Structure 1
Amino acid sequence: MRSRPYTYLFSISYFGARFKGWAKQKGQPTVEGKLERVFRYVLGHEDFRLIGSSRTDSGVSCRQGFVQIFLREEVDFEPILAALNLNLNGEIRLNSVQPISRDFNLINSVKEKTYRYFFSDSENFHPFASPFLTSVSKFNSLERMQENAALFVGKQDFKAFCKISAHKLDFTREILEAKVFETAAFSMEFSPEKTYCFEVTGPGFLYHQVRKMVHAIWYFSPEEIKSRLEKPHGEWEAIPTAASNGLVLWQTVLDLEL
């Protein structure tokens, strides 16, 4: 990418239900794929490279992330930001743009991420709420979920709370904050009477880690969570993965000091 000396940083939001995740897949709608098509159309060429700050899974939304573009020639993006967003059709939005040093590495500059998972146990859950919320039945009390969430805080081995990959050897991750609370973030005509949110912040997460933690706070006892954290390499039954539609990458914090 040294042959493309100009680089720009965009803040990005997108609605995950429209896409099969971030990364390009042949024949599938993805965030990266749509961004490439729109940049190609608006710029009038394909001599660029895109890198995202997070490779979200299929169905997962993003309130605030980042994407970096590398170009061979300098571009003033401010006048064409509206054209980019018009062609992104509201499913993806580029919120801001700034030129940045060629030495800036987006992947290595992610300082922390905050995910929020939205859910409800309403008996009258309306299907129109399903793009933003997961319908769940008979989960733990709010107090128990709060107690469970707090157990994840700290630097621990999360092998028992992720989808195992043959190429992954290090399962230690640090959780800076984890909590559960009632929320009105998606208050609308079809919203359930009560909506809950699990919020978790850390420098990085394993594959399906957040969604497996969500299932654990719903249905596990504190003792079950403690046992898996204390003996992460035990012969545990795999934890079910919560549905993707309730998960949002809520905030991404970058270290912009070069």
Structure 2
Amino acid sequence: MKRYYYLIGIQFLGFRYHGWQKQPKLKTIHERIDKTLKFILGDVKFKTLGASRTDAMVSALEAGVELFIDETPIENTEDFLKLLNVNLPSDIKAISIAQVNKKFNIIQDVDFKEYRYLFSFPSKNHPFCSAFMANFQSPLDIEIMKEGARLFEGRHYFRSYCARPSEQTDFEREVFLCELIPNTEFTASFFPEKSYILKVSGKGFMRYQVRLMMGALVLLGKGEIDLDFIKNSLKPGSEQLVRYIAPASGLHLHKLSFDFQKSK
């Protein structure tokens, strides 16, 4: 049996979804994509695999799904992309499609992922912001939060920044970049005058890792923990608990890059 392989780039607003992964009786990104593909492809056998399992209410500017089709190739990828977008919900968009070879692995061939966390403080935001910007209604020391963010860069032990790990979870991860900057990229008439972005990039992240990192920075900005807490939490064998997980709606997968040399 001949099989054909395609990489589809997607964007989505995750505010009304229960994350990426399919779950019984719940609306998820993966479930909606598969439902749309089933409608388009009819009786053609296919399956899909995503590059990232985003949490409920998390969005993406660049995400990816690999499409495996048995026996019947896509004749015109440009027309297929248009047809896919006509039938997808308005808060999910296919932005690209390309055929890949059978050696390509959408999970193992990720070069890096960049997440961004958009937030403001201390005044309450306009309700329209709630889909993609977190709001902390207390004073925050942004300068010390910037110092704290830099502590996450490099290879560290991230057990304190992972929820519900398995016995096989490797807690040693490398963060390529972690910085907190003023938001000048995302604008809208209803946005607050000032807002901020936490940029985090690495090859892979554990469940809730970025949200727990952001949670620690919020606690730092409020004066409830200090820089030494973060330093100690990243030491091998640390069992310190970060007791605050930042809200999901401020987080989005900003960039997803693949190393196509691996599959040549």
Map 1:52-201 → 2, pairs under 5 A: 52-72=50-70, 73-76=72-75, 77-201=77-201
Distance 1:177 1:213 in 2: 13
1:229 aligns with 2:227: no
After superposition, the Cα gap between the structure-2 partners of 1:139 and 1:51, relative to the gap in structure 1 and judged at 3 Å, is farther
Distance 1:116 1:133 in 2: 11
Distance 1:192 1:122 in 2: 10
Divergent runs of 4+, >6 A: none
1:191 shift after superposition: 0.6
Distance 1:239 1:158 in 2: 14
> What one-letter code is carried by the residue in structure 1 that aligns with 2:128?
F
Which segments of 5 or more consecutive residues in structure 2 lack a partner in the other structure?
221-225
Map 1:18-57 → 2, pairs under 5 A: 18-45=16-43, 47-57=45-55
TM-score between both structures, scaled by the size of structure 2: 0.92
Distance 1:237 1:251 in 2: 29
Q: Is the partner of 1:210 in helix, strand or coil?
A: helix
1:240 aligns with 2:244: yes
After superposition, the Cα gap between the structure-2 partners of 1:169 and 1:55, relative to the gap in structure 1 and judged at 3 Å, is closer
Distance 1:130 1:232 in 2: 37
Distance 1:155 1:13 in 2: 29
> What one-letter code is carried by the residue in structure 2 that aligns with 1:192?
P
1:197 shift after superposition: 0.5
Distance 1:118 1:244 in 2: 10
1:208 aligns with 2:208: yes
Distance 1:108 1:173 in 2: 15
1:164 shift after superposition: 3.5
CA contact (8 A) 2:124 2:135 kept: no
CA contact (8 A) 1:62 1:248 kept: yes
Deviation readout 1:79-110 (Å, 9 max, x if unpaired): 12112111113211110111111121111111
Distance 2:139 2:245 in 1: 15
What is aligned with 1:253? Answer: 257
Distance 1:166 1:203 in 2: 19
Which segments of 5 or more consecutive residues in structure 1 lack a partner in the other structure?
none
CA contact (8 A) 1:132 1:186 kept: no
1:14 shift after superposition: 0.7
Aligned length: 255
CA contact (8 A) 1:19 1:31 kept: yes
Distance 2:32 2:2 in 1: 21
After superposition, the Cα gap between the structure-2 partners of 1:79 and 1:126, relative to the gap in structure 1 and judged at 3 Å, is same
Distance 2:230 2:254 in 1: 25
Give % identity: 32
> What one-letter code is carried by the residue in structure 1 that aligns with 2:233?
R
CA contact (8 A) 1:158 1:232 kept: no
1:208 shift after superposition: 0.6
Deviation readout 1:4-48 (Å, 9 max, x if unpaired): 511111111111112101111111111110011101111122510
Q: Which moved more, 1:89-98 or 1:162-171?
A: 162-171
Deviation readout 1:151-199 (Å, 9 max, x if unpaired): 0011010001221424344200000110001113331121111111100
> What one-letter code is carried by the residue in structure 1 that aligns with 2:67?
I
Distance 2:21 2:204 in 1: 18
Distance 2:44 2:139 in 1: 49
